[in-house]
Amino acid sequence: MTLIDRLLMREVFKALLVTLLILMLVLLASHFVKLLGKAAAGNISPHVVLSLLGLQAIKVLGVLLPPAFFFSLLWVLGGMYRDGEMVALQAAGVGPARFYRSVMLLAVPLALLTAILSFEGLPWANAAIERIKLAQRDVLDIGGIRPGRFNDFDKGRLVIYTRGMSDDGRRLQGVFVRDRQHGRSGIVVAREAYQAFDQASGDRFVILADGRRYEGRPGQADYAVATFGEYALRLPRLDLGQRRLRVGARATDDLWRDGSLPARAEIQYRLSVPTGVLVFALLAVPLARTRPRGDVYGRVGLAVLVYFVFMNLQRVAERWMELGVLPAWLGMWWVALVMIGIGGLVMLADSFWLAGWLRRWRERRAA
């Protein structure tokens, strides 16, 4: 590894860390606000907010590595062109092929890391998020109940209203409950309620104290009123093992065994993420070229446009593959080939050979 390799890798790595940190902070801060809103509304338990945020960070990291690397490369290489460092290196005999080698020394390990995140980390995080969200549908957490409003659980089969909460936040006060037991709807009014957990069975209960339960319709024979000191209301549990995870949350080896078009499309999408690192590395060298003391920001804006075009084409190709519009053997590979072709055209357009050929062509036309 030469001095040029170490210099370029060090600068790109520093820019990558800064870019990645900024992008992750922006996206995770927005997601954190959404999670807090869901927790405040009682849709999820406050205790799972940090877990969901950590899992989201794994997802975001895998998705952001390719564009962050692309923008970092353009920024560093564009800065070297702007400051005249590239001109000095080219005058010393260091050509574009030499820059590609330096870029690939960083791109290949980064692509391997992205592949691990894409094939293992991303589906694992998606599956964990799905299981937590599914569990939250059927698990009541007292801390997630908002006083003064109706809080529904288990898809509306259980509705709880509370006038207020105790100072420690563990007990509900002035509780109204509408539930369904043995096919019959009932209404429970209690002085207070708290949550209990049975370690042996894993069941959760809402224990209502000092209240009455009303069943049936007043005036009819089946109407009943029961007074109780304590009334345990068992919350239904969801058998998460029987729920089929969506394609994005399934393990890669499971998708290989499936062999369906959606499974193949998901595999190719996961493969496209590390492939994107290599494609962006090839595109960055010609796209970063600018005149000495030129503007680097225009190239970064072009990079943003190229990235969004690439990602949209990926999603279109994935959808076409799922619908059978594209053959399975073609899949999403054509997107990477198109982007590499565009990079080659940009490289050709910026090359000294093409500039010289155009100059000679104009001279012949003028003669």
Q: What distance in Å separates the CA atoms of residue 119 and residue 273, rounded to the nearest whole number?
A: 9
Confidence (pLDDT) at 242: 45
Domain edge (last residue) among 185, 202, 236: 236
Q: Are residues 25 and 130 in the same domain?
A: yes
Q: Are residues 116 and 263 in the same domain?
A: yes
pTM greater than the 0.85 cutoff: no
Q: Are residues 131 and 266 in the same domain?
A: yes
Q: Are residues 127 and 272 in the same domain?
A: yes
Residue identified by tokens 């049936």 is 216
Q: Are residues 128 and 153 in the same domain?
A: no
Confidence (pLDDT) at 292: 64
Confidence (pLDDT) at 240: 45
Say how many CA atoms lie within 13 Å of 212 toward its Cβ.
5
Contact between 40 and 131 (Cβ < 8 Å): no
Largest CA distance in the chain: 110
Confidence (pLDDT) at 202: 64
Structure tokens belonging to residue 176: 């109204």
Q: Are residues 173 and 286 in the same domain?
A: no
In sequence order, the β-bridge partners of residue 234 are 205
Helix (H, G, I), strand (E, B) or coil at 81: helix
Q: Which domain holds residue 131?
A: 3-137+244-366
Structure tokens belonging to residue 185: 């709807």
Number of residues that make up the chain: 367
Q: What distance in Å separates the CA atoms of residue 365 and residue 358, rounded to the nearest whole number?
A: 10
Helix (H, G, I), strand (E, B) or coil at 260: coil
Q: Are residues 121 and 152 in the same domain?
A: no
Q: Is the dihedral of CA 180, 186, 187, 190 positive or negative?
A: negative
Per DSSP, the residues of 118-177 read IIIIHHHHHHHHHHHHHHHHH---GGGPPTTSEEEETTTTEEEEEEEE-TTSSEEEEEEE
Q: Are residues 80 and 163 in the same domain?
A: no
Q: Are residues 118 and 163 in the same domain?
A: no
Which DSSP symbol is given to 194? Answer: E
93, burial (CB in 10 Å: exposed 0-12, middle 13-18, buried 19+) = exposed
Q: Are residues 17 and 101 in the same domain?
A: yes
- Where the chain has pLDDT below 50, the residues are 238-242
Residue pLDDT, tens place only, 130-181: 888 776 655 555 556 778 888 777 667 778 888 888 877 678 889 998 887 7
Domain edge (last residue) among 194, 210, 236: 236
Neighbouring CB atoms inside 10 A of 18's CB total 13
Q: Are residues 278 and 219 in the same domain?
A: no
Query: For the chain, how far is it from start to end, CA to CA, in angstroms?
Result: 50
Give the number of domains in the chain.
2
Q: What distance in Å separates the CA atoms of residue 196 and residue 246, rounded to the nearest whole number?
A: 32
Confidence (pLDDT) at 293: 64
Domain edge (last residue) among 236, 253, 283: 236
Contact between 11 and 76 (Cβ < 8 Å): yes
Q: Are residues 24 and 68 in the same domain?
A: yes
